[in-house]
Each structure stands twice: as structure tokens, then as C-alpha cells.
Amino acid sequence: MDQDTLQMILREAVRETVTQVLQALLNADREAFLREHGGRKNGYYPRKL
């Protein structure tokens, strides 16, 4: 593989990892809010970068 291909693969891997981490944080924050406020879920969808 050439350097450009490796950079593209690395960039996509970093983007996917960041997306997964942010999604996990959003889910944890949402669950904590619902526990504290006893609320209902109101329109949730996965976000993309």
C-alpha cells in the first residue's frame, strides 16, 4: 500500500472511532438525564460527523 492509501485508511478509522466514542457519550448522557428527571425518550437518532 502506498502512503496516500494508508492515510485514507487511518483517517476513516479515526473518524469511526470518534463517532463511536461520541455516540457512547451521548447515550450515557441521555440515560443519566432520563434517570434524574424520570422523563420519556423524545426523538432519538444516531448522529454522524
Give tens-digit pLDDT for 30-48. 888 888 877 767 666 666 7
CB–CB of 33/39 below 8 Å?
yes
pTM of this structure:
0.68
25: pLDDT strictly greater than 70:
yes
**Alpha-carbon 47 to chain mean position:** 7
Average pLDDT, the chain: 87
CB 30 within 8 A of CB 44: yes
Q: How far apart are the first and last CA of the chain?
A: 27
Is the confidence at residue 12, as pLDDT, over 90?
yes
For the four alpha carbons of 37, 39, 41 and 42, in that order, the dihedral sign comes to negative
